[in-house]
Structure 1
Amino acid sequence: MKITIVAPYCSLPTEPHFNRFWYLAELLAQKHDVLLITSNFKHYDKSFRRPQDAETASQGRLRVMLLEERGYRKNVSVARLQSHHVFVKNLEKWLENQKNGNIDLVYSAYPFIASNLVLGKFKQRLGYKMVIDVQDVWPESFSAVLPFMKKIGHRNFPFAARADKAYAYADGLVAVSESYLRRAREANPDAPGEVVFIGADFEALESAPAKQFDPTATRFFYLGTLSFSYDMETVCKGIRQLADEGLNVELHVMGGGPDLEKLKQYESKAIRFYGYIPYTEMMSVAKGCDIAVNPIHAHSAASITNKLSDYMALQKPVLNSQIHPEVAEVLTLVPHENYESGNVKDFVRAAKALLNQKNGSVQSEEIIRRFKRDVSYRKIVNLIERLGNEKTD
């Protein structure tokens, strides 16, 4: 099959972040011809790729193409919308130059809404099947920036009709959580679908040696973005209060984002910020720590995130503020304690409670079944190949 993957935020192998779409591209390229289309702009550090980066990443039946966009400095900005518009226009120009039979199946990341609308528009002329992979629900994610929107029914959100139209184009649906798949199926109830968590690279995790720390301290850790969806300020204040009370605790924060500089005011002997570091180094630090922190604001629309997949693979206890039924069910696989986001006193209470049960039972076999990528991603491959066979029958 000739498969095109459209993933604007995809990380390439030399870059520090895991990306579902690169992993899937390599998996599919074992049997199929794969073209991965991504952006020349790196969202995570706001820098541009060079044309030769695509050549370096391409490997035989897996080819990489970079589409130009303008770039932006802030995640929430008019400049970001304008940049995405340029990417989508360039995608449209590329599709206009394709012939029927050049593409058998398109596997597309959602969001963007606009890129999926363009891909849907060309489906009939170019004769391909289309699978949409729902990484985030948009425009519902507005609630992370504007919490009052949580009270509005999501079908009344701005752009909800455009989102429905994008979902409706899909011949197959994949989502990183059951709730995201359910949202897509509101607009496309008959499409076959699979829930496949982001998952984790268990092999890379196993090969990373645990970093050696002072064995007398209890180390909390956080992996990922530092932005408006994550209440890291409460975590920093809580750790500082625990230290002030005489507990030997530390916080290790790996990742970056727009809130990093503001949070650095809390940097101390007990609180360390690493910034972006390679995945294996991040796993080494995490393996040397004791308790993971999942500090998502209560008003966020997020569900099973990248960091939660890594936390599950690490099989560490989790201190959690995220309110989501699917997350609550997943957390039953490890020792955990919940606290109210924004409430330092409740964070301290929950942290102390988790210290007393951090050696509780872990459901390792179930974690492997749900989160080990070479196991769970076969469901995506099977869906793609099934749809491809329908096209050729």
Structure 2
Amino acid sequence: MKNVWLINPYGTLPNEGWRNYRNVNLAESFSDKGFNVRWFIASFEHRTKAARTENIVFDSFSSEIITTPLYRKNISLSRIYFEYVFGKNLISYVNKNNLELPIVIILVSPSLFYASLIINFAKKNNIKVVIDVLDLWPEHFITVLPKPIKAFSDFLFSPLYYLRNKTLLKADGVVFCSRDFEEKICNKISLSSKLVSYIGTETKDTITKKCYEVVHIVYAGTLGESYDIQKIIDLAIIYELKNKKVVFHIAGGGPLKESVYQASLSLSNLKFHGSLHPVKLDALLSMCHIGLASYASDSSVSMPLKFYDYLCNGLIVLSSLKGEVNEIIESKCVGFNYDANNINQLEGIIDSLLADPKLLKNMSNKCFTLGKNYDYKKQSNEFSSFVIDIL
């Protein structure tokens, strides 16, 4: 049987209580096509920092735990050291256990600080490499820079841009999880073999019937400084004063978790759910009418998972993101775009929807229909077929 290796220290395994990660979906697709799949992953989970100690054989792949040092801060020197050690220990692990080599490696990007180790190993052993671009580094780092320094970010991060471009040019194929990412990369380098394959989500055959006596508005995702969470709390205050039949729901975890929790104690129309199991999150989304994609103005996010989840549950999307999401919302009439930090504009959009229940229902059906395009099985099948064509 032909072997495929997925190399990504991050992500979550099926037994860790989160939704199926991109690699899990890819493993299912490759397994269905007759491949044997291994996923090389770090010895702790990125979000919770919970330890992993044993390799597990799942239905479509086996996990290979690579010993790595722990990091506490996501942007730190210890994170860089973690990545380097992951790459070095992975190659030692393969040699020590005398693993049968694959015909192709799917290497995640970002992988700035270990990709060269993997690619050199692959080239030495005549193994094809396909890079899966899930996020943009160093662009992500720019969002945490002080404002006076941001103007010099291109110069400051030029070695990292060079390193990323060099890595991508060595790959046999590159897959992007959004057209925004493809455009940003391909404006700088020319790639002969590339594909856009969205992460997607599990879609449904029918939309859940919604009650419109009270309109439910939800934000589901990370509770951090880059996500404009305070504006959602401010909206809840505004609509409680208006005495409108609107309930705001916030689900997720992160640095602002305590602030959201405290706000929910004093606001009758703000419900905080914490981090939800995928089944419970789906139940929450299915009863809601509007989904918020509230991001800071300098966010590097392109196609967030919440966008797919909102659509497949028939939620109208209100988004502050630029780029592809913005264009889809406008061209497909599945929501409204607003300027980040402009709470008055967002309030006006919500008021217009509250005043027109028929519009709410019609747009909900459009969202549900469009969501079917982002079925994860369809997207994963396109990804695996692209890889097989390269072999």
Q: Please point out which of 15, 18, 23 is paired with 1:16.
A: 18
Q: Cα offset for 1:40?
A: 1.9
Q: How many residues align?
A: 378
Query: Is the CA contact (8 Å cut-off) linking 1:105 and 1:129 kept in structure 2?
Result: yes
Question: 1:296 is matched with which residue?
Answer: 295
More off after superposition, 251-260 vs 279-288: 251-260
Please say if 1:367 is aligned against 2:371.
yes
Question: 1:38 is matched with which residue?
Answer: 41
Amino acid in the other structure paired with 1:376: Q
Residue ranges of structure 1 left out of the alignment (5+ in a row) = 389-393
C-alpha separation between the residues in 1 aligned to 2:7 and 2:310?
A: 28
Q: Cα offset for 1:334?
A: 4.4
C-alpha separation between the residues in 1 aligned to 2:119 and 2:64?
A: 20
Over the matched positions of the two proteins, sequence identity in percent amounts to: 22
Please say if 1:58 is aligned against 2:58.
yes
Amino acid in the other structure paired with 2:372: I
TM-score computed with the length of structure 2 as normaliser: 0.88
Question: 1:184 is matched with which residue?
Answer: 185
Question: 1:26 is matched with which residue?
Answer: 28
C-alpha separation between the residues in 2 aligned to 1:290 and 1:266?
A: 22
Q: Please point out which of 247, 264, 269 is paired with 2:244.
A: 247
Question: 1:391 is matched with which residue?
Answer: none
2:388 aligned counterpart, secondary structure: helix
C-alpha separation between the residues in 2 aligned to 1:342 and 1:365?
A: 30
Q: Cα offset for 1:296?
A: 1.2
C-alpha separation between the residues in 2 aligned to 1:89 and 1:222?
A: 39
Q: Cα offset for 1:358?
A: 2.3
Q: Cα offset for 1:49?
A: 2.1
TM-score computed with the length of structure 1 as normaliser: 0.87
Amino acid in the other structure paired with 1:368: K
Q: Cα offset for 1:251?
A: 1.3
More off after superposition, 283-292 vs 374-383: 374-383
Please say if 1:329 is aligned against 2:327.
yes
C-alpha separation between the residues in 2 aligned to 1:240 and 1:130?
A: 51
Does the C-alpha gap of structure 1 residues 295 and 379 become closer, same or farther in structure 2, counting only changes over 3 Å?
same
C-alpha separation between the residues in 1 aligned to 2:77 and 2:344?
A: 37
2:114 aligned counterpart, secondary structure: helix
Instruction: Please tell me the root mean square deviation across aligned C-alpha atoms, in Å.
Output: 2.6
Does the C-alpha gap of structure 1 residues 138 and 10 become closer, same or farther in structure 2, counting only changes over 3 Å?
same
1:233 aligned counterpart, secondary structure: helix
Question: 1:225 is matched with which residue?
Answer: 222
Amino acid in the other structure paired with 1:353: S
Query: Is the CA contact (8 Å cut-off) linking 1:117 and 1:165 kept in structure 2?
Result: no
Q: Cα offset for 1:65?
A: 0.6
Q: Cα offset for 1:363?
A: 5.9
Question: 2:52 is matched with which residue?
Answer: 49
Question: 1:91 is matched with which residue?
Answer: 90
* Residues 161-172 of structure 1: pairs in structure 2 closer than 5 A: 161-172=162-173
- After superposition, the C-alpha distances for 1:212-240 in whole angstroms (9 at most, x for unaligned) are 9x863211101111123211111111121
C-alpha separation between the residues in 2 aligned to 1:155 and 1:105?
A: 35
1:273 aligned counterpart, secondary structure: strand
Does the C-alpha gap of structure 1 residues 352 and 376 become closer, same or farther in structure 2, counting only changes over 3 Å?
same
More off after superposition, 183-192 vs 233-242: 183-192
Q: Cα offset for 1:302?
A: 1.2
* Residues 119-268 of structure 1: pairs in structure 2 closer than 5 A: 119-146=118-145, 148=147, 151=151, 154=154, 157-158=157-158, 159-186=160-187, 189-203=190-204, 216-267=213-264, 268=267
Residue ranges of structure 2 left out of the alignment (5+ in a row) = none
Does the C-alpha gap of structure 1 residues 116 and 230 become closer, same or farther in structure 2, counting only changes over 3 Å?
same
- After superposition, the C-alpha distances for 1:254-304 in whole angstroms (9 at most, x for unaligned) are 111122123323213211221221111101111111100000112111111
Question: 1:349 is matched with which residue?
Answer: 348
Does the C-alpha gap of structure 1 residues 171 and 154 become closer, same or farther in structure 2, counting only changes over 3 Å?
farther
Q: Cα offset for 1:182?
A: 2.7
2:62 aligned counterpart, secondary structure: strand
Query: Is the CA contact (8 Å cut-off) linking 1:145 and 1:228 kept in structure 2?
Result: no
Amino acid in the other structure paired with 1:358: L
